[in-house]
């Protein structure tokens, strides 16, 4: 999380983060078991902007908290 939010690294996506996992599962319709199999492919597809994708997913999941 420090690499993502404080240092602003571009290719970081914390795949085991609970909020991120819930957002990806809700957005793509994955089950928890499918998430484990498919998250690596999503991260590869989003590189080198995986951090931006993570920030969008956090904001999408909790729009009022991030204002």
Contact (CB, 8 A) for 43 and 1: no
Is it the case that residue 10 has pLDDT exceeding 70? yes
Domain with 52 in it? 2-61
Domain assignment present for residue 12? The answer is: yes
Domain assignment present for residue 54? The answer is: yes
Question: Residue 65's pLDDT band (boundaries 50, 70, 90)?
Answer: low
Domain assignment present for residue 11? The answer is: yes
Mean pLDDT estimate for the chain: 87
Query: 18: which 2 tokens?
Result: 């609970």
Domain assignment present for residue 66? The answer is: no
Domain assignment present for residue 67? The answer is: no
Domain assignment present for residue 40? The answer is: yes
pTM over 0.85: no
Which of 42-46, 47-51, 63-67 has the lowest average pLDDT? 63-67
Count of structural domains, the chain:
1
Nearest Cα neighbor of 13 from 47, 36, 63, 38 is 47
User: In whole angstroms, what is the distance from residue 4 CA to residue 45 CA?
Assistant: 18
- pLDDT tens digits for range 17-44: 999 999 999 999 999 899 988 999 999 9
Tallying the residues shown for the chain, one arrives at 67
Domain assignment present for residue 56? The answer is: yes
């Amino acid at each position: 999380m420090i690499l993502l939010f404080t240092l602003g690294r571009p290719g970081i996506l914390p795949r085991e983060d609970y909020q991120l996992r819930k957002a990806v599962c809700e957005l793509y319709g994955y089950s928890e078991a499918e998430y484990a199999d498919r998250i690596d492919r999503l991260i590869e597809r989003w590189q080198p902007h995986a951090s931006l994708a993570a920030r969008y997913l956090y904001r999408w999941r909790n729009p009022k908290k991030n204002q």
